Every structure is written in C-alpha cells, then in structure tokens.
Amino acid sequence: MPLVVFLISRACSVFGLQILACTFIFRLVERGADPYALSQLGLVATVASLSLAFPMGMIIDRIQKRTAILISHFVLLSLVLILTLLNPTEFVLILVATGLIAISRNFRSISQFTVFGELLKHETHKHRWVNKSTLSWQIAAFLAPLLAGFLGSGQISLWFASAFISVLFFCQLYIVHFLQDDFSSTSSSEETDVTLRGLVQFLQSNFSLHSSLLLDFFIVLFAGAASLLPFLHIGRDSAADIGILKSALPAGVIFGTWIRMQRPSLDGWMEKLLIATLGYGFCHLLLAESSSFYFSYIVLFGAGIFDALSLAVRECILQIDTPPAFKGRLYSLNNFLVNASDELSEWESGVAARLVGVRSAIRISGFVALFGAGVFAWKARQKVPGPVCR
C-alpha cells in the first residue's frame, strides 16, 4: 500500500508543478513576452536548482528520513499556497517564483528518492516498482500540459496546482509511518566512509553507477534533436505539427516503460544499457535522413522506447546500488548531471545547427550515442559485475 501511495504522490507532484510552470508561461506569453524572456525562466530554474543541489543532498544524508520528507514537502506546499494567494503576474515576480519553486522541487525530489529506496527494501520484484514509478510520472508529464492548457492562465490554475501538491503532502504523511531511520546505527554504515572522499571512492569502485551516470550525461548533452524539430520539415512547422512531434518521444517512453514491466528481471543490465544506447543513436541517424513527417514520428517514438529501457536500468541501478548513507548526495549528483545536460543540450544543438545545419546536427547526436555505446562496451568487457536488480 505505501508504494501505491508513493506512485500517486509522484504523479500528483508532476501534475502540480507542471500546471504551475505552464500557468506562468501562459501569463508571460499573454503579456507579449518573447522567446528570450521565456528562456530566462529555464535558466533561473536551472541555476537555482543546481547551485543548491549538493548542499541539499548533504543535509538529507545527515537527518532522519521522516524529517527530510516532511520538511521538503511542507516547504513545497507552503510556497505553492503562497504563490496561489499572491497570484503573481509581473515578469520579475514570476522569475523569482520560478527560482524558488525549482529549489523546493529539487529538495523534494532528493528526499523522495531516499524514501523510495527505503520502501523497496522488502520487495521481491524491485525493478517492477521502479518501472511503475517511472510510468506514473511519465504519464503525468504527458497529460499535465494538456490539463494546464484547458485551465488557462487564471488563478484557478494555481488553485488546481495547490490541490495536487496538497494531495502529494498528505500522501507523504501516510508514507512516513512506514519508514525506518535506523541506517545510521547499522554496522554497514559504520564501515562506510560517508565523507566526500568516501563518495568519490565508492563511485570509482562501482562501475554500474559511475558508467550509467556518465553515459546518460554525455548522451543527453548531445541529444538536442527536440529543440531542432520545428526546423526539420518545411511546411510542417505549425504549433500543432511541432506539438505532435514533441509528443512522440514521451509517448515512446510510456510504451517502453510498460513493456519493461512485463519482464521478470533486470539481470544483464550491461547488455540492456548497450542496446538502449545503440538503438537511441540509430534512431537519431534515421531522423536526420527522414523526409516524411510521419516517419519522423515513428523514429522519435522508437527513440522513446530505447530511452525507456535505458531509464529503467539507470533508475534501478541508482535505487539498488546506492547505500543509504550516500542516497541524498548521489541523487543530487544525478539531478545535477541530468539537468545540466538538458540545458546544455539545447545550446549545443543550436550552435551545431548554425555551423553545420539542422540535419547534420542531429547526425552528430546519433554518432555521439554510438561512440558512447562503444566506449561503454569496451569498458564493460573489463568488468564482471553481478546482477543489479531482480
């Protein structure tokens, strides 16, 4: 039951935060904001979130899980309620609100990760719950913008966001009753060097963790095809057409995650991660050569399926291979790498498209993924790790 409640809470967090973000964007567009102004929202959110990621991870690793989860969600709920009552419409206020939400969201995300690991301890099929968790927030991420568009830019949208975040908070109140805060007194933690040097040494010695983190960072860093989709097909660049293409990847991720839920285990994680990276790279190469709008959608949908496989393996590795004493800092590191690569990816794709053209920029994304898969395969041959998840 607590894991089911956790899935509900994760979906509610995505709904609430995305509705809030979409509402702010709608308001700025209605006031005549240009793309540069909108990009400042993403920049502020990224800088605010990443600048405090590691301190928050260290704090969460040093306090009780119950305390971390309650404080982080109470701060998020309080902030959303205050914004709902203030109902900001000015650009500066929305900019400040975006930065504050990004910080509290990251705090909530890191603490939630440590709680999920605690709830998985006694489960036999851990990978299935990891896949269900991924599926819950992917579906919410797919539907939330549609709901936000229906609600519009009025204050009613903020009240809906507050309602979802309130459900999230009460779900966490229920979940904390099932948490144990005894890891600090166990013998395993006494044998673990919890300093920064200990974290670095642990990552160096754990091939599954550091390889999956680095592989994801570099693949995403050069996988900015999504930002180039408006320029891929001449004559099919309306808002509806672009929206359809942009929906292909998350739709593929949802379908791929559902497929992963049918599998009995995640043994052979190296082979699966290698296949996912190769498939993702080949999909980008096919996209670069596509002259058909519909074929591009199919290729992007396929890339989403491979991305889902990679995501399932990486999420499972993070949850199962990370000791409790390191969970906060390691997930903050994961957030830092993922968010940084997402932001830098758009910049890289824009620069590459300006220098070599749109389709060549997408080809570069595909070749980088294939190169990354080759390096990973070469390094993996030197390692013989055991199964990661069952």
Distance separating alpha carbons of residues 102 and 115, to the nearest angstrom: 20
**Last residue of some domain: 148, 181, 214?**
181
Please tell me whether residues 311 and 376 are part of one structural domain. Answer: yes
Structure tokens at 367: 């070749």
If asked whether residues 307 and 347 sit together in one domain, one would say yes
Which tens digit of pLDDT belongs to each residue from 56-77?
A: 777 777 777 778 888 888 999 9
Is the four-CA dihedral 127, 133, 137, 138 of positive or negative sign?
positive
Q: How many domains does the structure of the chain reveal?
A: 2
Both 226 and 129 in one domain: the answer is: no
- pLDDT at residue 143 is higher than 70: yes
DSSP run (H or E) holding 115: helix 91-119
pLDDT score for 383: 62
Q: Are 315 and 130 in contact (CB under 8 A)?
A: yes
| Whether residues 309 and 259 fall in one domain | yes
Among 137, 152, 181, the domain boundary falls at 181
pLDDT confidence band for 221 (50 / 70 / 90):
low
Read off the tokens for 109: 């995300």
- Asked if the model's pLDDT at residue 390 lies above 60, the reply is no
Please check whether residue 256 lies inside any domain of the structure: yes
Q: Is 388 within the bounds of a domain?
A: no
Residue 141 pLDDT? 74
Torsional sign, CA 88, 27, 144, 315: negative
Instruction: Count the alpha carbons within 13 Å of 309 in the hemisphere toward its beta carbon.
Output: 21
Looking at residue 238, its pLDDT comes to 61
- Specify the higher pLDDT residue, 146 or 264: 146
Could you tell me the residue range of the domain that residue 357 belongs to? 196-380
Statement to judge: residues 295 and 204 lie in one domain: yes
Instruction: Note whether residue 350 is domain-resident.
Output: yes
Q: Is residue 290 part of a domain?
A: yes
Over 50: is that where the pLDDT of 288 sits? Answer: yes
Whole-number percent of the chain with pLDDT over 70: 72
Q: 114, exposed or middle or buried, with CB in 10 Å at 0-12, 13-18, 19+?
A: buried
User: What's the mean per-residue pLDDT of the chain?
Assistant: 75
Percent of the chain at pLDDT > 90 equals: 6
Taking only the tens place, the pLDDT of each residue in 343-380 is 566 666 667 777 777 788 788 888 888 888 787 777 77
User: Is 187 among the domain residues?
Assistant: no
Instruction: Give a yes or no: residue 190 inside a domain.
Output: no
Residues 92, 138 share a domain? yes
Domain identity same for 143 and 228: no
pLDDT-based confidence at residue 182 (cuts at 50, 70, 90): very low
* Residue 332 placed within a domain: yes
pLDDT at 346: 60
Considering the domain architecture, whether residues 139 and 105 belong to the same structural domain is answered as: yes
pLDDT in tens, 309-347: 887 777 777 766 677 666 667 777 776 666 656 656 666
The pLDDT of residue 280 is: 86
Same structural domain for residues 149 and 219?
A: no
Give me the sign of the Cα torsion angle 308, 313, 314, 316.
Answer: positive
Choose between 28 and 221: higher pLDDT: 28
Q: Does residue 76 sit in the same domain as residue 225?
A: no
Taking the C-alpha atoms of residue 151 and residue 157, their distance in angstroms, rounded to an integer, is 6
Q: Do residues 189 and 311 lie in contact, with contact meaning Cβ atoms separated by under 8 Å?
A: no
Q: Residue 211: give its domain's CATH number.
A: 1.20.1250.20
Does residue 174 sit in the same domain as residue 206?
no
Structure confidence at residue 160 (pLDDT): 92
Instruction: Give me the mean pLDDT over the 382-390 stretch.
Output: 53
Q: Which pLDDT band, with edges at 50, 70 and 90, does 184 fall under?
A: very low
User: Any idea which of 90-104, 162-176, 192-206, 301-315 has the lowest mean pLDDT?
Assistant: 192-206
Tell whether the model's pLDDT for residue 98 goes beyond 80.
yes
Model's pTM, two decimal places?
Answer: 0.67
212 and 321 fall within a common domain: yes
Domain boundary at 181, 206, 229, which? Answer: 181
Q: Give ∠ CA 372-125-380 in degrees, rounded to 5.
A: 25
Q: Residue 181 above 60 pLDDT?
A: no
239 pLDDT above the threshold of 60: no
Tell me whether residue 6 is in a domain.
yes
Query: What per-residue confidence (pLDDT) applies to 77?
Result: 92
